[in-house]
Structure 1
Amino acid sequence: MLFPTKAIKPADSVFFIAAYLTEALSQGHDNFDSAFDYIQNTYPKTVTIELVILSFDFLFMLDRIEVKGDSFKIKLN
């Protein structure tokens, strides 16, 4: 579920959802609701809120985003 495999299609993986989430944050969708709406409108499949939360967690563990109050900021290292 985290990475695509033979059994898991790329569109179903947290890795790909995190890529769309990174795009949403870079376009100024800096809070959860705005980023979730962006994903729902642009992602090729329906994404559950649980997968979006896992994607945020994935990016946070990789130190790619930082949380500031109600908003998220992408880190470009």
Structure 2
Amino acid sequence: MVGLAAVLAASAQAYAVVKLMGLLVLVHVVLSLGWLACVAHAVSAARSFFERPRVRGALERVTGVVLIGFGLRVAAEVN
């Protein structure tokens, strides 16, 4: 009977650990969903800014300069 009591005590502890882990998983899920909702809202708000013609043109110019710089670097590379 002592062995059975030990097994029951161990299983009760294991069940408590499983409940705690479940709670931690739930907290993680809630925090992750909250974070992703904030990111989605920020991206939505930033979209209107980046769609402005002046900002879009500036981004295209910067991108063009960067690509030309990469091309010059590859062309100047010695193998």
Highest relative contact order (Cα 8 Å, sep 6+), 1 or 2? 1
- Whether the TM-score (by the shorter chain) exceeds 0.5 is no
**What range describes the TM-score normalised by the shorter chain of this pair?**
under 0.3
Structure showing greater Rg: 2
Bigger strand share: 1
